[in-house]
Chains A and B, each alone.
Chain A
Amino acid sequence: AQSVTQPDIHITVSEGASLELRCNYSYGATPYLFWYVQSPGQGLQLLLKYFSGDTLVQGIKGFEAEFKRSQSSFNLRKPSVHWSDAAEYFCALRGGNYQLIWGAGTKLIIKP
């Protein structure tokens, strides 16, 4: 079955510290994977996507993600977080008929 798991509901990091948000997927073929960010009261914004090629993908706002087929993972990273990065982050997998299969989201809290 196709699924996306984000094991961390909340993560707290200090401003300026590095960040890694976990995402694991289950899919039979080469997946199309996405990370989205949702700031409070806002819509979902696409951070980055992977569907082939280089397994390290660069996105907007200084984020990157690494696709690891052997671990069925697509973790999101940022070397140094800013207070404005506080938001909810969603990992998603393209399912059938162009639909996205969504993870439950990880809420990022930034400590000053």
Chain B
Amino acid sequence: DAGVIQSPRHEVTEMGQEVTLRCKPISGHNSLFWYRQTMMRGLELLIYFNNNVPIDDSGMPEDRFSAKMPNASFSTLKIQPSEPRDSAVYFCASLGPAYEQYFGPGTRLTVT
């Protein structure tokens, strides 16, 4: 298996622009998690899906952030409009059979 796939790996954008991050989980995994990692706050859970349904989005910072999972093999995290404080590494992870999470390589977002 190719593992969890994320794109793009790096994104540089200007404040106010829309940013879309993409994730393809491991085939057969039914739960998907979006995280954000910064030096200041460490690893934060933003939202997670089970069987394509959002279960807990309490970690989403504000209405500028939205996430979707239209099918079992694809999810997006969108930021609109982006702000410099959104600069971080965003990870997607999918849940294995023993409750372990498998992480993608991350998307490094820089908002200038």
Contact = CB atoms under 8 A, between A and B. Distances in A.
Contacts of A98: 31, 48, 50, 95, 99
Interface stretch (B66-74, B75-83, B102-110): B102-110
Given A98-B48, A99-B45, A104-B42, A45 B100 contact: no
B95 A46 contact: no
Contact of A49 (B55, B100, B106): B100
B43 interface: yes
A27 interface: no
A105 B42 contact: yes
Q: What is the interface residue range for chain A against chain B? A: 10 to 19
Given A98-B48, A104-B42, A105-B42, 16 more contacts: A32-B98, A34-B100, A36-B103, A42-B106, A43-B4, A43-B106, A44-B43, A44-B91, A44-B101, A44-B103, A46-B100, A46-B102, A94-B99, A97-B50, A97-B55, A102-B42
Interface of A: 32, 34, 36, 42-46, 49, 51, 90, 94, 97-100, 102, 104-105
